Copies of this chain bind each other. A is one copy, B any other.
């Protein structure tokens, strides 16, 4: 299943120098101990959207040939990479590539009925909503598209905001034959997906993720939901989309900090199950940080392949799928304890991964070279490697006690064990190691 980056067209790399980065940033200080970690929070309005042309992405599926598209007026044809999520009659494709929002037939084939509700936020909406509406309606006058624009941020991933989606759908009198489209990052995908799962007990839905985090992780696999004040993602559904459309051009407007946040999940796939991918990342992290499209496309594809494989084997998280949560139990505690929206999800996961790795080392399950390599790659990605200083042992314990992976009172964790690329999901560990890790990372 492993592929290599040199399967990518060299023209992707050549296009790198022209990638735009966001300029208008609303910074705030992050309590990272890593002095390189610059906190970025952007309004991202009005930035130019560059399109790469003359690019043919690699294909991982024979079926992608059918998707070759000659767009009149576009520089060339571009076929998406397709990763299939194999779930029987709920299987669906992930399309990955540049310029996919300029290929209306990709989206339109997955729209059921005549009415579409796009759920987006006040950051992504101004950038891409018009483009998505065009993709949904071009040459397809029977379809009408409405939208609901939510406030941007993890702190709005709650029932109150979710109700705005239901209110809108019901006011519009949408029926069971409608389609919900999630346009945005992980928060939008999770909320729109849960809304689609629950509206009229389930309507069609499509994911258009616009952040690395959503493209490599949250848009794939059907986990949807909202937070409760006492914990993350405690209310939700397993609900699979009709397709995931990843237009890598949308990353052109992504703030650096969100880019890095998504890379935390890319790194995770290497650690838990794909040592070759981790080694590739060690060599290519500077390219990823510089948004080299070729490297980025490969990282997204390989991440989606890993996730699709895990989800296909264990959709409802009987066991294997839980391994995708490396660092997440500690990370969720940081997000909940520190307040949603202070740290990005991937930032919390990065610090959480370091804690899980520290604990694995204390248990004698991995050697210290792995610990060092993980520190190094996270620092290269400008991700935090310690939790916020305000986090206490008690805050960790209290949030971790309501983690979804607790079973009959026992907290199961994903820990590394053995050579790089191997992990376990287990409650069978010495509790002292957990205590020692918490005390090592918290001042009180």
Binding site for B on A (CB under 8 A): 113-115, 159, 163, 166-167, 170-171, 173, 175-177, 194, 197-202, 223-225, 228, 230-231, 233-238, 316, 401-402, 404-409
Given A201-B223, A223-B201, decide whether A173 and B402 contact each other with a Cβ distance below 8 A: yes
Tell me the number of copies of this protein.
2
Pair B223/A170 contact, Cβ less than 8 Å: no
Q: Which 7 A-B pairs have the closest CB atoms?
A: A175-B406, A201-B236, A177-B407, A200-B404, A170-B230, A198-B235, A173-B402
**Measured between C-beta atoms, what is the minimum distance from A372 to chain B in Å?**
35
Given A407-B177, A408-B175, decide whether A202 and B238 contact each other with a Cβ distance below 8 A: yes
Q: Report how far A195 CA is from B197 CA in the complex, Å.
A: 13
Given contacts A175-B407, A176-B407, A201-B404, 4 further A-B contacts (CB under 8 A): A113-B407, A194-B198, A199-B235, A201-B224
Q: Which residues of B contact A234 (CB under 8 A)?
A: 166, 170, 199-200
Given A200-B234, A202-B316, A231-B170, decide whether A404 and B223 contact each other with a Cβ distance below 8 A: no
Q: Which residues of B contact A173 (CB under 8 A)?
A: 401-402, 406
Pair A114/B197 contact, Cβ less than 8 Å: no
Pair A408/B166 contact, Cβ less than 8 Å: no
Q: Which residues of B contact A230 (CB under 8 A)?
A: 170-171
In this complex, which of A114, A177, A198 has the most chain B Cβ atoms within 10 angstroms of its Cβ?
A198
In this complex, which of A233, A235, A316 has the most chain B Cβ atoms within 10 angstroms of its Cβ?
A235
Q: Which residues of B contact A115 (CB under 8 A)?
A: 408
Q: Report how far A230 CA is from B170 CA in the complex, Å.
A: 7
Q: Which residues of B contact A223 (CB under 8 A)?
A: 201
A410 and chain B: residue at smallest CB distance: B175
Q: Which residues of B contact A402 (CB under 8 A)?
A: 170, 173
Q: Report how far A159 CA is from B407 CA in the complex, Å.
A: 27
